[in-house]
Amino acid sequence: MQIIPVILSGGSGTRLWPLSRKQYPKQYLPLVGDNTMLQETILRLNGLGNLADPIIICNADHRFLVAGQCQQIDIESPTILLEPIGRNTAPAIAAAALQSQKISNEAVLLVLSADHVIQDIDAFHQAIKIASRQAQAGKLATFGIVPTDANTGYGYIKSSQENIDGAHKVEKFVEKPDLETAQTYLEQGNYLWNSGMFMFQADVLISELSEQSPNIVVSVIDAVTNATKDLDFIRLDKQSFESSPSDSIDYALMEKSDNVVVVPLDAGWNDIGSWSALHDIGTKDANGNVIKGDVFMQDTTNTYIHANGHMIATIGVQDLIIVDTPNATLISTKDKSQEVKNIVEQLQRQDREEQSCHRKVYRPWGWYDSIEMGKHFQVKRLHVKPGAKLSLQMHYKRAEHWVVVSGIATAINGKETLILTEGESTYIPIGTTHALENHTDEILEIIEVQSGTYLGEDDIVRFDDIYGRVEANAG
């Protein structure tokens, strides 16, 4: 029996703004340790036997992030499914199940979210072994978190008292309760938090989902059948996938099936749904503070501080969340940190780029940092990976001036091909085709000065691109 991890990585993580944003959501950030949350999700499976490379489901805009982060932890052959549009968890899981059957007809799928924290890995592995046995017996297994408090932010699973080889039959799923109801659940002892993690055989999942939500299965079968290969990615067919109902796996199947069992899990689980949750699980100093980055404190207690780019100093504060990024800073009381989504909604209504973009923007060839901007000019720092190449492109409304800071650049400027070393530069007039390549084994760093009447990233016409972005609008 082989276990195929299925990792759901399509969320936007707006509750952790300004660090988590639409273009770079929380699952791709190192919020807890040195690795990103996606990487930690994969790495905590090490030690399980018969483990296949994962199937990762993500937004097409994040495909190179996913591929790059997998490569960093030596996952060489992940299956990366690209959702053309978010349709909730049921269609995504169904697509992964159908895709998994091309790998193995007998595999058990382990469905995980890319943004969870699990501290007790041994307990987690033990729960997986129990759930695996249930899945092999034809059950739909879910993991229920043993509650530590009367939490109103989670749905609950009511389990039977009977122990079936470490699992319990699910009596019902319940929505997020009020505080009084949650306290009753806690006292009764047979209510568990709904984790959103599952194990089942692919054919069992498809069979039961076909019975309970046939429209989803029909649409997803077409989306997988008509999927296209794009480099190392699999693009689900857009028209077919869009036609699927947008339902959670709980609503589409789990709440309706009488074949569901729950495995209790007590392993230091957290879904990191707010900045206060990060404070709760973080390593605290003697005054209850959790800090990351360059921070100086005086008379500061029970506070979370994340410094990014420059030093933060606090005096005489308590119970705060302070999160700094180069183009946005959040300051909130801990008890109001959940309301950051309201700020994001305001930014969206005003079409502010801070709601979706960091100053540093990642691309498949590396990244750029917009270090200065004014009327009719912008200065960027470009970091080009070894062997990488920017697309052959041109702009209608801006000129560019490239200056090499370090490394060796191969610059195509119109009909010329130039080799530029440290301190050398080239000017690219408006309307001139150009490209930048790094043929060396070292990082190439460039200062790019843009000038023109319009400097938006949609002023790009691509003629050739090794990353398959000729028809795209963003860098």
Query: What is the count of structural domains for the chain?
Result: 3
Q: Collapsing DSSP states into helix, strand and coil, what is residue 418?
A: strand
- 210 shares a domain with 86: yes
- 178 shares a domain with 42: yes
Last residue of a domain, one of 244, 270, 296: 270
- 222 shares a domain with 171: yes
Please indicate, yes or no, if residue 212 is contained in any of the structural domains: yes
- 393 shares a domain with 251: no
Instruction: Work out the widest C-alpha separation in the chain, in whole angstroms.
Output: 76
Confidence of residue 273 (pLDDT cuts 50, 70, 90): confident
Using the predicted structure, report yes or no on whether residue 275 has a pLDDT greater than 80. Answer: yes
Last residue of a domain, one of 270, 290, 306: 270
- 193 shares a domain with 46: yes
Please indicate, yes or no, if residue 470 is contained in any of the structural domains: no
Q: Which residue has the tokens 């929380």?
A: 26
One-letter identity of residue 360: K
Cβ contact 416:432 at 8 Å: no
Q: What is the pTM for the complete model shown?
A: 0.90
Query: In the prediction, which pLDDT does 475 show?
Result: 42
Query: In the prediction, which pLDDT does 1 show?
Result: 80
Please indicate, yes or no, if residue 98 is contained in any of the structural domains: yes
Using the predicted structure, report yes or no on whether residue 14 has a pLDDT greater than 90. Answer: no
- 79 shares a domain with 223: yes
List the structure tokens of 415.
Answer: 């009909």
What is the DSSP annotation of 303-359?
Answer: -EEE--SS-EEEES-BSEEEEEETTEEEEEEGGGGGGHHHHHHHHHHTT-GGGT--S
One-letter identity of residue 193: W
- 195 shares a domain with 247: yes
User: Cα–Cα distance between 408 and 439 in angstroms, integer?
Assistant: 8
Percent of the chain exceeding pLDDT 70 equals: 99
Please indicate, yes or no, if residue 14 is contained in any of the structural domains: yes
| Residue 111 belongs to domain spanning | 3-270
User: Cα–Cα distance between 238 and 246 in angstroms, integer?
Assistant: 14
CA 244 and chain centroid, separation = 22
Please indicate, yes or no, if residue 353 is contained in any of the structural domains: no
Q: Collapsing DSSP states into helix, strand and coil, what is residue 101?
A: coil
Please indicate, yes or no, if residue 175 is contained in any of the structural domains: yes
- 100 shares a domain with 242: yes
- 417 shares a domain with 381: yes
CATH number, position 33? 3.90.550.10
- 225 shares a domain with 82: yes
Q: Which residue has the tokens 């959670």?
A: 248
Cβ contact 9:58 at 8 Å: yes
Using the predicted structure, report yes or no on whether residue 472 has a pLDDT greater than 60. Answer: no
Please indicate, yes or no, if residue 469 is contained in any of the structural domains: no
409-423 mean pLDDT: 97
Summarised one tens digit per residue, pLDDT across range 307-359 is 987 899 999 999 999 999 999 999 999 999 989 999 999 999 999 989 998 99
Please indicate, yes or no, if residue 471 is contained in any of the structural domains: no
- 285 shares a domain with 255: no
Q: Which residue has the tokens 């399980």?
A: 48
Using the predicted structure, report yes or no on whether residue 471 has a pLDDT greater than 70. Answer: no
One-letter identity of residue 80: I
Overall size of the chain counted in residues = 475
- 456 shares a domain with 413: yes
CATH number, position 411? 2.60.120.10
Q: Collapsing DSSP states into helix, strand and coil, what is residue 247?
A: coil
Mean pLDDT of the chain: 94
